[in-house]
Amino acid sequence: MADEREPLLADDVEGGAVTTTTKTTTKQSSRTSRPALAIAASVCLVAGLGFASYIEHQRQAIPTTQGVWSGSLSRVSWNAASGFSFKYESYIDAYLKRAQPAGRVIEDSIRKYYPQRITPTSAPFDIFYTIRDEPVTKCFEKNYNAKYCRSESLSPVFAFGSSPKNASRIPFLYSATLSVLAQCLDEDGVLGDSEAVITETTRFEKCELLSMDGSGMFRKENMPDQSDYEWSALDDKAIWRGSDYPYLAPAVSSTAATASDPFVHSIELAGDKSAKIKEILAGDAVGPRFRAVLMSFLHPNVIDAKFFNHYPSGGTHEQTRHRMGFSASNMMNLETLGRYRYQLDIGGAGGTTWRGILPKLAMPGILLHHETPMRDSFYDKIEPWKHYLPLDEDLGNFFKLVDWVKGHPDEARKISATATQWVEDFTTVASQLRHNYEKLVVPLGKALADAKGAPISPVPFTEAHPGLKGV
């Protein structure tokens, strides 16, 4: 139940130390009715199996939220005595930059929309969440899922990264406000500042991605020469730059997860490099990002796809990628990216690109959006053939999509214009508050369930934000 604190067992590790939280429940029977025989059996089991085996036995017998996860989860906790506290799944700086804002958005959302749940007489609660690129859970494995991942004992987990499009795969996982959008809510303080005056046209001021003059969002009106971004002036090529990440785990997708490392040297050593690349592309051993780069090598007049790693290792494989022309030495800014007619969006480790898709939807070209088994929180708001062209997971229909645009320029321009307008509307403060209310606030009602397990309702959106349209 949401009013309970789950035993986190051996998975809940911080810096090598196991942290165990004792379950506190409103159900009197769960504290008093455990038979002495069961306790004795547990003692015998510990003696016979050892503590680690006993922990695993208990995990399999009664699934817990942390137990079905493959790593630690972040957690927002509250009790009447000490208020809110936080635990993060990783204390590496890169993860903290995501986990801390997400945790604050959860806290601010509860304070604003669920004040009835944090009174002096309210029961304590824990909210579990993850900010990883994809959910790191054993529940993607079919047999494990059927046995352990559909129990009512599992608390909701809120994914601020990507999550499966098929929500029934992990029924206790909720696609929450995408991390980069949650960061904007946190940076501008629009949830926590009760005195902020917000209208339907209010824009973010501090957030780099969503502010009017931010460097993270493409806006044609901010370009030095807007005529360069007319449809007829665009470079008739597809463009992509991104990191050489492996693609999704095998349990999530049947498409190859492999990055470029196992292949670059064999290509460099081949007498006929084009023939070697065609041989590789004919198989299914390479992931979609490297597939795009190899396609670019063979068809440079149609597609310009190269790796660019923000934190290069300088290793042997990376040097080879540069010698082969598979990697770019300099990052391509939005001003340059926007000059191309076909924008490629290719999923990485989580199967999506997080912040990459929004600027590309806003560009004057047309987005070829990578359709994968994963989604980000706003994907249900954009539609194929209305806002973008659907690119197959293995990129197999890429050339067909390019040919369609060449044969249907007016329809393609209309799709591009519709996408640009959608981004303009979606990136207002009011739209982001509605999005957060829909994707995080309403599902939080299940995690904040009352003593009988019934979900509670948040303060209505229009009551919390007078003057704004409802969700």
Q: pLDDT tens-digit profile of 185-217?
A: 999 999 987 677 899 999 999 898 887 676 788
Structural contact between residues 468 and 462, judged by C-beta atoms closer than 8 angstroms? yes
In a domain, 71, yes or no: yes
CA 124 to chain centre: 28
Residue 13 has pLDDT above 50, yes or no: no
- CA 464 to CA 315: how far, in whole Å? 53
Least confidently predicted of 11-25, 229-243, 413-427: 11-25
pLDDT digits (tens, 9 = 90+) for 37-51: 444 444 444 455 455
Domain co-membership, 224 together with 77: no
Global confidence as pTM? 0.83
Domain co-membership, 440 together with 411: no
pLDDT digits (tens, 9 = 90+) for 308-321: 976 666 677 788 88
pLDDT at 307: 93
Residue 371 has pLDDT above 90, yes or no: yes
Domain co-membership, 417 together with 449: no
Q: In this structure, what are the phi and psi dihedrals at residue 163, rounded to the nearest 5 degrees?
A: -145, 165
pLDDT at 216: 83
In a domain, 400, yes or no: yes
Domain co-membership, 415 together with 455: no
pLDDT digits (tens, 9 = 90+) for 460-469: 999 999 999 9
In this structure, how many other beta carbons lie within 10 angstroms of the beta carbon of residue 389?
A: 22
Give the containing element (helix H, strand E) for 463. Answer: helix 461-464
Give the pLDDT band of residue 274 (cuts 50, 70, 90). very high
pLDDT digits (tens, 9 = 90+) for 243-273: 888 888 666 766 666 667 788 889 999 999 9
The mean pLDDT of the chain is: 84
CA-to-CA dists, residue 163 to 68, 167, 170, 248, 394, angstroms: 16, 8, 9, 11, 19
Domain count across the chain: 2
> Of all residues in the chain, what percent carry a pLDDT higher than 90?
58
- Domain extent, residue 227, equals 220-426
Residue 285 has pLDDT above 80, yes or no: yes
In a domain, 104, yes or no: yes
- CA 341 to CA 373: how far, in whole Å? 26
Domain co-membership, 188 together with 114: yes
Domain co-membership, 271 together with 140: no
Residue 138 has pLDDT above 90, yes or no: no
In a domain, 209, yes or no: no
For residue 311, give the CATH number of its domain. Answer: 3.40.50.2000
- CA 262 to CA 284: how far, in whole Å? 13
- CA 450 to CA 447: how far, in whole Å? 9
In a domain, 94, yes or no: yes
Domain co-membership, 294 together with 370: yes
Residue 312 C-beta-side C-alpha neighbours within 13 Å: 16
- Which residue, 179, 140, 173, is CA-closest to 161? 179
In a domain, 50, yes or no: no
Structural contact between residues 419 and 382, judged by C-beta atoms closer than 8 angstroms? yes
pLDDT digits (tens, 9 = 90+) for 61-120: 456 888 888 778 999 999 999 999 999 988 888 889 999 999 999 999 999 999 999 999
In a domain, 10, yes or no: no
Domain co-membership, 131 together with 238: no
Residue 33 has pLDDT above 70, yes or no: no
pLDDT digits (tens, 9 = 90+) for 151-188: 888 899 999 999 999 998 899 999 999 999 999 999 99
- CA 261 to CA 257: how far, in whole Å? 12
Domain co-membership, 249 together with 190: no
Domain co-membership, 394 together with 451: no
- CA 68 to CA 92: how far, in whole Å? 23
